[in-house]
Amino acid sequence: MNGTTTITMFRDAVLDPAKRAHYRLAWLSTVDHKRIAVLYLVTALVFFVIGGVEALFMRLQLAVPNNHLLQPDTFNALFTMHGTTMLFFVAMPALFGLVNYFLPLQIGARDMAFPRLNAFGFWCVPLGGILLHFSMLAGGAPAVGWFAYTPLSEMPYSSLPGTDYWAIALFVTGTGSISFAINTVATVISRRAPGMTMRRLPLFTWINFVNAFIILAALPILNAALAMLLVDRQLAGHFFLPLGGGSPILWQHIFWAFGHPEVYILALPAFGIISEIIPVFSRKPIFGYEFVAGSSVAIAVLSMSVWAHHMFTVGMGRTLDTFFVIASMLISIPTGVKVLNWSATMFGGRIHFKVPMLYAIAFLLQFLVAGLTGISHASAALDWQTKNSYFLVAHFHFVAVGAIVFAILGAVQYWFPKMSGRMMSEPLGRWTFWLMVIGFNMTFIIQHFLGLLGMPRRVYTYPDLPHWGWMNMLSTIGVFFMSAASLVLVWNILVSFFRGKPAGDNPWNAWTLEWATTSPPPHENFIALPLIRSRRPLWDLANPDRPDPVVGENSDAVTLPDHNKVGILSFIFSEVGFFGVLILAYLYFYAHPQPGPSGKELELGRTLVFSACLFASSFTFWRAEIALHLKRHALMLGWLGLTVVLGAVFLVGQVTEYWKLFQSGVEVGTNVFATAFFTLTGFHGLHVFIGLVVLSIFLWLAWRREVGAGRGTSSAFAAAGYYWHFVDVVWVFVLLTVYILPLLR
Amino acid sequence: MTTYQFFTTAWTWNFIAIALSAIASIAYLLGFGQRGRPVYFAAAIGLFLLSFISPFSALANGYLFSAHMVQHIVLVLIIPALFWLSLPRSFSLGPPLTYLTRPLIGWAAGVGAMWLWHAPALCNAAATSSAVSALQSASLLFMGSLFWWQVLAPRNEQRLSPPAGIAYLFTACPACSVLGIILTFAPVSICPVYQHPVDRLGILETIRGNWGLTSDRDQQIGGLLMWIPMCAIYLAAILAQLARWHSSPQLEQSNA
C-alpha cells in the first residue's frame, strides 16, 4: 500500500475544488436511488461501529464473575442501546440500502417510483439514530430493553426522558421504513422494464417485494404501540399501567405482533441475498425458483400469526400456548424448504469459493443452527426453561449475526464492484471472513451451554459458579476477533475504493440485470437493456445458442399500473394496521370497564350530524373528480371547495366535543376509557387535518388550473381521493366502536 | 354419559340434511355425470353430513362454542371450496347470479360470514332455534360459495388472476384473524348460550370434567380456531394460487 498515492487519490476525489462544488450538497440533497443507497449503507456502518462498541463494553463487563467495570444502570442502558441500534439503525438500513441500490437495477428501472419519498425515508434513519443517542446527553439513555416492557418503561418506573427519546426515535425510523416499503411495492409494480414480468423477477427483488408487505403490515403496529406509550408517558394516559386499569400484557401483545414479523423483515432480505449469491458462485440456476418464491409468501403470512410464542412465559394459559406452538412449528417448513433449495443449488455445481460464497456457506450452516434452536423454542415446555437464559441470547444472535450480518457482509463483497467500479480485495476479504467466523462462533456457541447451565440473560454480572467464568471469558475473547474482522472490513472498503482492481461490468459472470450496465452505473442506470425473456437475461445474452426456457408468454408486454395509485393503496394498507391496533385497544378497554366516564356519556346526536358532513365530503370529492374528468373547471372548484368545507366542519365538531369533555373534567388521564378515546379519535382527527391540507393544496392548484393539466396531476388527485375516502371509512369503524357499541348493551 | 357412549350414541338422523345430500348427489350425477370431479363432490357431501348428523353436530348445537366454530369454518371455507372444485370446467353461472361474482362482493361475503353470525344476538339465536340455525347454515354455505368463486370458479377466465387472487386471500386472513383475536381475549361470553348449556344429552359433566373444557377455555379455543387454523386455510389457497401462476404455460425456448 502506497500511502501517498491513497492520499492523492482521496484529494482528487473529494477535495479537488472543481469536483467539490459538485459534491458539497449533492450527497445531502440527492434523490438518486444509488446515492441514497450508499448513504443508507454508510449510516449503517457508522451505527454498526457504535452498536459494536456498546456490545464490546457489555462483554467486557461479563468477562469475569462479580465484575464492577460498569454500573448496573449503565449496563442496562448499553444493553438497550445495543439491541435498538443493531436492529433499527444497522440491520434495517444496511438491507434497505442494498435493496435501494439493486432492486431498481435488477428490474431495469431508472429509479425508485418516488425518488423524493426515498430521500425522506433515508433521512428518517439518521434523524432517529441521532435522537436515540442524543438521549445520553439529555439526562440518560433508555434502560428498558429494546422491547421496552411496560410497566418498566412507564413514567413511575423510568422517569428520565431516555425512554421518550427511544420511542420517538423508533417512531421516526418506523415512518421511514414504511415509506421505503411503499416505494418498493410501487417500484416493483410500476417501474419494470419491458419483458420483466412479475414471474421473471430475480429472487432478491421478489423476496424484497414480499418483504415490503410485511413491513407495511408490521411497522404501523409498532408505531401505534409507541404512540400509546408516549400518550401514557407524556399525557398521563393509562394504556399499559395496571394502576389505572391499563394492561401491561397488552403492550407485549402489540409489541410482539410487530416484533416477530420484524425478525422476518430482517431475515427475508438476507434470504434474497443468499438466493443471488449461491447460484452465481455454483454456476447453476437456482434450484426450484418457484419454491423459494412461494415459501417467502408463506413466511410472510405465517409470521403475522405466531407472535405469542414470545410470550409463553407470560402465562397466557395452555390453550393459547398450544395453538402458538403448532403455528410456530409450521413456519419452519417454508424456511426449511429454502435451505433445501440452496443446498440443492450447490449440489453438483462448480463451486467458486470466492468471499461472497464463503459467507453464503457460513450463512447456511449458522442459519441451520439458528433454525434448530428456534424450533426448540417453539415448544412451550422447553421455552419455559430456556427463555430467560443465555440459550435464547445465543439463538437470536445466530439469526441476527450468523445469518443476517453474514448475508449483508457477503452482499457487500458481492456488489461492491458494481457500486464502486472496483473489486474488494479477496485476501483481505478472507481475513474478515475467517476472523468473523471464528469470533462469532466463539462468542455465541458457548452461550448455548451457558444458558443450559442456567445463566440468566439481562443480568449485569453473575456469581462465580462452576464453569460460568471460563465460558464467559471465551465468549468475550470472541468479540475481539469480531472487532478485528470489522477493522479489516473497513480497511478493505477504504483501500478497495481507491486502489481496488477495476471491476468491469460483470466481474462474477452473474446473470441479473444490474450486471448489464457499467460499474458504477450511469445516473440513468442503463443505456440499453438486453432482451428479457427469462430470469437470467445475461445468460441468454451470453449463450444465444442455448438460452434459458422462456418464462410465461414470449413477449415484452408488462402491465404497469399507475404508481400513484399503487403507492397510496400501499400507504392505506399500512394505515389499516395502525388504526386496527388503536380500535382493538379501545375495544379491549371497553370490555374491561373502569370507574369514571365511559362511552355512554358521549353525545351521539351531535356526532352523527358532524359524521354526516364527513361522509358527505366523500361524495362531493367524487363529484369533483367527475367534474375534472369532464373538464368543467368551475364546477370542479365548487365541489372540491365544498369537500374542504365539509371536512373542516367535521373537525370543528370534534373540537367542540373535546372542549365539552374538557369542561366536564374528562381529560386523557382521567381513566383508561378517556385515554383510549382521545388517542383513537385524536389520531383520526390528525388524519382528517392532513387530508384537509392535501385537499387545500389541490384546491389552490385547481384554482391555477394545474390539476389535470400536467403529467400525473390527475393521478395524484385521484390518489388524494383514495386517502380522503379511507379517512372516512376509518370514521365508520370509529363511529361504530366508540359511539354505537355502548347503545347495544 | 361417558365419552365412548357419547360418540357411539349421539348420532342424530337429521332427515333434512340426509334428504338434501341425496337430492344434491342425484342432481350432480344427472347434471354432470362423469364430466366433473366426483371425488371432491363426495368429500363435500361427506363433510356436510358429518357436520349435521355426527356427535360433533350435537356438540356444536348448544354445548361447545369451539365445536360450533369448527362447523362454521367447514361450512364457509371447506364445503363450498370442494363444491366448486367438483364442477366440470364448462360450468358457468346464469345471469341473475353473475351480479354476485364481483370480487368485492365475494370478499365481503366471505369475511362477513364470519363477523355477522358472531354478533351475540345472532349467535345465540342460531344456537337455540333450529329455524335460525338452518338459515345460518344455508347462508354460510352461500356466502362461502361467493367467496370461493373468485379463486376456484371452474373456468380460468372467471377467476381472479393469480396475483389478484393472492391479494384477495391475503387480506381476508387478517380480517378474520381480528375477529378471532376479539373472541379469544373477550372477557365476556360472545355467545352466552354456550356458557350454561341445557344438558339435553347428559354429557355436560364429561365435557367440563373429563375433557377439561370450561366455558372460558371453550370460547378461547373457538377464537383461536378462527385466528390461526383459518389463516392456514387461506395460506394453502394462496400457495395454490402461486402454483397456478407459475404453472401457466411455459413456451419452448425462443430463437430471438
A429: Cβ contacts below 8 Å, ≥ 6 apart: A355, A413, A492
| A285 CB within 8 Å of a chain B CB | no
The domain locations on chain A are 33-542, 563-744
Residue-by-residue DSSP string for A72-113: HHHHHHHHHHHHHIIIIIIIHHHHHHHHHHHHHHHTT-SS-S
Q: What pLDDT score does A304 carry?
A: 87
Contacts of A330 in chain B (CB under 8 A): 232
A533: amino acid identity, one letter: R
Contacts of A546 in chain B (CB under 8 A): 253
Record: fold of A33-542: Cytochrome C Oxidase; Chain A (1.20.210)
Element (H, E) at A573: helix A563-591
| B30 CB within 8 Å of a chain A CB | no
- Whether B249 shows a pLDDT value over 70: the answer reads no
| A591 CB within 8 Å of a chain B CB | yes
Q: Do B231 and A305 touch (CB under 8 A)?
A: yes
At A1, the pLDDT band (50, 70, 90 cuts) reads very low
Q: What pLDDT score does A8 carry?
A: 63
Q: Do B246 and A294 touch (CB under 8 A)?
A: yes
A410: amino acid identity, one letter: G
Could you give the CA distance from residue A96 to residue A76 in angstroms, rounded to a whole number?
A: 29
Contacts of A217 in chain B (CB under 8 A): 174
Contacts of B174 in chain A (CB under 8 A): 217, 304, 580
Could you give the CA distance from residue A48 to residue A643 in angstroms, rounded to a whole number?
A: 49
Residue of A nearest to B119 (CA): A744
Q: Which residue(s) pair with A502 in the sheet?
A: A422
Q: Do B231 and A199 touch (CB under 8 A)?
A: no
Give per-residue pLDDT as tens, B71-108: 999 999 999 999 999 998 888 877 777 778 889 999 99
Could you give the CA distance from residue A308 to residue A301 in angstroms, rounded to a whole number?
A: 15
Q: Which residue(s) pair with A456 in the sheet?
A: A389
Question: In this structure, is the dihedral angle defined by the CA atoms of residues A528, A531, A535 and A536, taken in order, positive or negative?
Answer: negative
Contacts of A535 in chain B (CB under 8 A): none
Residue of B nearest to A548 (CA): B253
Of B181, B187, B242, the CB nearest to A294: B242
Phi and psi angles of residue A389, each rounded to the nearest 5 degrees, phi first: -120, 175
At B164, the pLDDT band (50, 70, 90 cuts) reads very high
Contacts of A554 in chain B (CB under 8 A): 251, 254, 256
CA distance A586 to chain B (A): 12
A121: Cβ contacts below 8 Å, ≥ 6 apart: A96, A176, A177, A179, A180, A183
Residue of B nearest to A551 (CA): B250
Give per-residue pLDDT as tens, A488-536: 999 999 999 999 999 999 999 999 999 999 999 999 999 999 999 999 9
Of B173, B221, B248, the CB nearest to A301: B173
| B108 CB within 8 Å of a chain A CB | no
CA distance A98 to chain B (A): 26
Buried b (16+ CB within 10 A) or exposed e, A617-649: bbebbebbbebbeeeeeeebbebbbbbbebbbb
Arithmetic mean of pLDDT over chain B: 89
Buried b (16+ CB within 10 A) or exposed e, B91-129: beeeeeeeeeeeeebbbbbbbbbbeebbeeeebbbbbee
Q: What pLDDT score does B195 carry?
A: 87
CA distance B225 to chain A (A): 8
Average pLDDT over residues A135-153: 92
Q: Do A298 and B181 touch (CB under 8 A)?
A: no
CA distance B191 to chain A (A): 14
Could you give the CA distance from residue A488 to residue A671 in angstroms, rounded to a whole number?
A: 56
CA distance A23 to chain B (A): 43
At A328, the pLDDT band (50, 70, 90 cuts) reads very high
Average pLDDT over residues A575-594: 95
- Whether A259 shows a pLDDT value over 60: the answer reads yes
| A552 CB within 8 Å of a chain B CB | yes
Contacts of B188 in chain A (CB under 8 A): 591
| B135 CB within 8 Å of a chain A CB | no
- Whether A350 shows a pLDDT value over 50: the answer reads yes
The domain locations on chain B are 3-91+100-246
| A213 CB within 8 Å of a chain B CB | yes
User: CB of A472 within 8 A of CB of A407?
Assistant: no
Residue of A nearest to B241 (CA): A294
Could you give the CA distance from residue A536 to residue A514 in angstroms, rounded to a whole number?
A: 11
A634: Cβ contacts below 8 Å, ≥ 6 apart: none
Average pLDDT over residues B20-46: 91
User: CB of A392 within 8 A of CB of A386?
Assistant: yes
CA distance A386 to chain B (A): 25
Average pLDDT over residues B156-171: 91
What is the number of alpha carbons within 13 Å of residue A567 lying toward its C-beta?
22
Q: Do B246 and A293 touch (CB under 8 A)?
A: yes
Could you give the CA distance from residue A609 to residue A387 in angstroms, rounded to a whole number?
A: 53
**How is residue A350 annotated by DSSP?**
-
The cell numbers describing A375, all together, are 424450533
CA distance B246 to chain A (A): 7
Q: At what angle are helices A248-282 and A355-378 packed, to 10 degrees?
A: 140
The cell numbers describing B104, all together, are 368485492
| A314 CB within 8 Å of a chain B CB | no
| Helix (H/G/I), strand (E/B), else coil: A467 | coil
| Helix (H/G/I), strand (E/B), else coil: A456 | strand
Of B163, B188, B228, the CB nearest to A323: B228
User: CB of A99 within 8 A of CB of A184?
Assistant: yes
Q: What pLDDT score does B238 carry?
A: 96
At B198, the pLDDT band (50, 70, 90 cuts) reads confident
Record: fold of A563-744: Four Helix Bundle (Hemerythrin (Met), subunit A) (1.20.120)
Of B174, B220, B231, the CB nearest to A320: B220
Of A297, A531, A580, the CB nearest to B256: A531
CA distance A96 to chain B (A): 24
| B157 CB within 8 Å of a chain A CB | no
Q: Which residue(s) pair with A509 in the sheet?
A: none
Q: What pLDDT score does B200 carry?
A: 84
Same fold, A33-542 and A563-744: no
Could you give the CA distance from residue A100 to residue A119 in angstroms, rounded to a whole number?
A: 11
* pTM score: 0.94
Chain center to CA of A362: 25
A34: Cβ contacts below 8 Å, ≥ 6 apart: A100, A101, A419, A520, A521
Element (H, E) at A620: helix A604-629
Q: What pLDDT score does A18 carry?
A: 60
